[in-house]
Structure 1
Amino acid sequence: MNKYSLGKYLSDYFLRYIPSRMNYSDNTIKAYRDTFTVFFRYCMEVLHLRIEKLSITDINKDLIENFLNWLVNEKEYSLRTRNQRLAALQSFFRFLQIEAPEYLDVCNTILSIKSKKVPNTDMTYLSIPAIKKLLATPKSKTKEGKRDLAILTLLYDTGARVQEIIDLNLCDLKLSPPATVKLLGKGQKVRIIPIMPQTTKIINTYMNNYQLTDKCNLAVPVFFNKQRNKLSRAGITYILKKYFEEARKENYILFPSKISPHSLRHSKAMHLLEGNVNLIYIRDFLGHASVSTTEIYAKSNPELKRKAIEEASSNVLPQETLTANDKEVLLDWLKELI
């Protein structure tokens, strides 16, 4: 066995195994590839190892754990990102178990590394008044404002993941009644989402302004930058934060301290729940594989909890009624306070 065969196995893994055998999405493949890019940079810059000389047996449990600690302590990655990097590395070593069983011991020690427990954080979402304020912020008379309003409106109205909006092509839009949008989600799963008349009008205005109406059947991106390339995650995040900060300056009480594109997805899910939409429908709307994922919205919504407690209590607790004397005493007490 050639000592320096790491490159061969990595090529097989990225070019053959995960695209065809595992059917991973392009975004997952990119994320896994980025993990190895960061890992090799750590080996070169921190450990001063020559990548072309790096062998499989050089990569052991201690090296991986030191790399993960470096991500958190030096690069200030979150525990969630640290766990995602670990998952990418372990996926390769699961592949290596089968392709090169002579490295089974090395693989097993790396696969024994545990993920770190991520502390629960409050889910960030906006109220309906906050969404209205946010969507009223883009200057709809400008060309850029029309595009930005279309992006934000579609993100909220469809509850789409940011990557689903990035990958959206003109041929995925059906703007004649009943208007729908076709989203390509995780695992290459397609779902058809209805869009509201107000959203349809905003998208039509944007498309007319950018002269896209004669290209509706072409596989070109709906949203793009000045170079006519797809917008990036960073680009959409920048657009959202720009208007979020502007809206928050005018009414900071309405808004949380920070936001991300996923917050609009959370907001849509919460508003559907508050509108008494069944969890099963919300699961399908969001493209969740399991309803247990959708249940986190019900658990995170204090208003739903309050209503449930009130309904349960009203059937059990005795009804309290104030006598005339009780009301007099209460009024006197309130007058003293005032």
Structure 2
Amino acid sequence: MSRGCSINSRNQRLAALKAFCGYVARKSPEKSALCQGVLKIRVKKAPQKPVEYLSVDAVEYLLKIPDRHSTQGIRDLAMIALMYESGCRVQELIDLRVGDIVFRSPNTVTLTGKGNKARVIPISTNAADIIKAYLNSTSICDMAHPVFVNIYDKPLSRSGVSYVLDKYGQMARNARPELYPCKLHPHILRHSKAMHLLENGVNLIYIRDFLGHSSVTTTEIYARCNPELKRKYIEQAGSLITESIEEYSESEKEALIAWLRENI
């Protein structure tokens, strides 16, 4: 009976079963034949969804909505600004400590991503000023203290980050529905930053390092999903075709015929 599970859920459960069968095969070799039947099951390919991202105008308008004169508003503004500026993952934002942000020229933030790999990301002066204003409003001095906390001074959870972004996303969509065709999720700001860097001619290798991807193959998804870049490259390729066609001279024709006789 079909349970209506998604392809990703199916593949995750299959991976868990395969890991268990691999363990059983090592501990009880007599069960290897049964385990091999499970290990041979192939993962199911899921259709690739287009990458959702915001335009530059949409990001700019989103940043205008939080009330920077209130404690909660300046926190939310600092969080959204940093998520876009650094292209960080949600967990990287949650794990961020005050000491990870350096306010000097250039302003930087150190993010710790998957595999405990750290990377240093430059941030603009405007974003740094917003984050500095937020930290000043909270009077946080401990360098090991989480940057973004809730009203109980506890680190924001993943659902808390999603709630904040969704709240302002709904407000932005109500005011400018043409800019926000989809529901906002935390990863959309990461996608948006990658797309905007790509549209401004930044090399994929640098974008890979910026996002903390282990392979440029992962980063290439942004190049494949951007119709504007495809149009640009197609036009560049088309410009190589000229209307004038130069005919072979008599000597070139004779040389070509001679070569064909010798090699065919």
The CA deviation string for residues 122-172 of structure 1, in whole angstroms up to 9 with x for no partner, is: 110001000001111111111111111111111110011111111111221
Asked whether the equivalents of residues 124 and 256 of structure 1 are also in contact (C-alpha less than 8 Å), the reply is: no
What is the match of residue 269 of structure 1? 194
What is the match of residue 124 of structure 2? 196
Take 2:137 and 2:193, find their aligned partners in 1: how far apart are those partners? 27
For the aligned residue pairs, the C-alpha RMSD in angstroms reads 1.8
Matched, 1:120 2:120: no
Candidates 163, 169, 179, aligned match of 1:254: 179
* Structure 2: runs of 5 or more not aligned: 245-264
Asked whether the equivalents of residues 240 and 260 of structure 1 are also in contact (C-alpha less than 8 Å), the reply is: yes
Take 2:36 and 2:152, find their aligned partners in 1: how far apart are those partners? 47
What SS does the aligned partner of 1:125 have? coil
Return the offset for 1:190: 1.1
Take 1:225 and 1:313, find their aligned partners in 2: how far apart are those partners? 54
Return the offset for 1:318: 4.1
Relative to structure 2, which stretch is displaced further, 91-100 or 274-283?
91-100
The CA deviation string for residues 56-79 of structure 1, in whole angstroms up to 9 with x for no partner, is: xxxxxxxxxx7xx53xx2xxx432
Q: Select the structure with the greater relative contact order (CA < 8 A; seq sep ≥ 6).
A: 2
What is the match of residue 133 of structure 1? 61
The CA deviation string for residues 7-66 of structure 1, in whole angstroms up to 9 with x for no partner, is: xxxxxxxxxxxxxxxxxxxxxxxxxxxxxxxxxxxxxxxxxxxxxxxxxxxxxxxxxxx7
Return the offset for 1:90: 2.4
What SS does the aligned partner of 1:120 have? coil
User: Cα–Cα, structure 1 residues 312 and 239, in superposed 2: closer, same or farther, change >3 Å?
Assistant: same
Q: Which has the higher helix share?
A: 1
Amino acid at match of 2:19: S
Take 2:206 and 2:177, find their aligned partners in 1: how far apart are those partners? 33
What is the match of residue 288 of structure 1? 213
Residue correspondence of structure 1 range 1-338 to structure 2 within 5 A: 69-70=2-3, 73=4, 77-212=5-140, 214-215=141-142, 217=143, 219-318=144-243
Asked whether the equivalents of residues 124 and 259 of structure 1 are also in contact (C-alpha less than 8 Å), the reply is: no
Take 1:125 and 1:131, find their aligned partners in 2: how far apart are those partners? 10
Return the offset for 1:245: 1.0
Amino acid at match of 1:276: G
User: Cα–Cα, structure 1 residues 245 and 317, in superposed 2: closer, same or farther, change >3 Å?
Assistant: farther
User: Cα–Cα, structure 1 residues 99 and 201, in superposed 2: closer, same or farther, change >3 Å?
Assistant: farther
Take 2:139 and 2:30, find their aligned partners in 1: how far apart are those partners? 60
Amino acid at match of 1:299: R
Overall identity of the aligned pairs, in %: 49
Take 2:7 and 2:94, find their aligned partners in 1: how far apart are those partners? 26
What is the match of residue 248 of structure 2? none
User: Cα–Cα, structure 1 residues 141 and 187, in superposed 2: closer, same or farther, change >3 Å?
Assistant: same
User: Cα–Cα, structure 1 residues 104 and 226, in superposed 2: closer, same or farther, change >3 Å?
Assistant: farther
Relative to structure 2, which stretch is displaced further, 191-200 or 84-93?
84-93
Amino acid at match of 1:177: S
The CA deviation string for residues 291-314 of structure 1, in whole angstroms up to 9 with x for no partner, is: 111111011000101111111112
Amino acid at match of 1:237: S
Relative to structure 2, which stretch is displaced further, 302-311 or 167-176?
167-176
What SS does the aligned partner of 1:253 have? coil
TM-score by length of 1: 0.68
User: Cα–Cα, structure 1 residues 246 and 127, in superposed 2: closer, same or farther, change >3 Å?
Assistant: same
Take 2:100 and 2:31, find their aligned partners in 1: how far apart are those partners? 46
User: Cα–Cα, structure 1 residues 187 and 91, in superposed 2: closer, same or farther, change >3 Å?
Assistant: farther
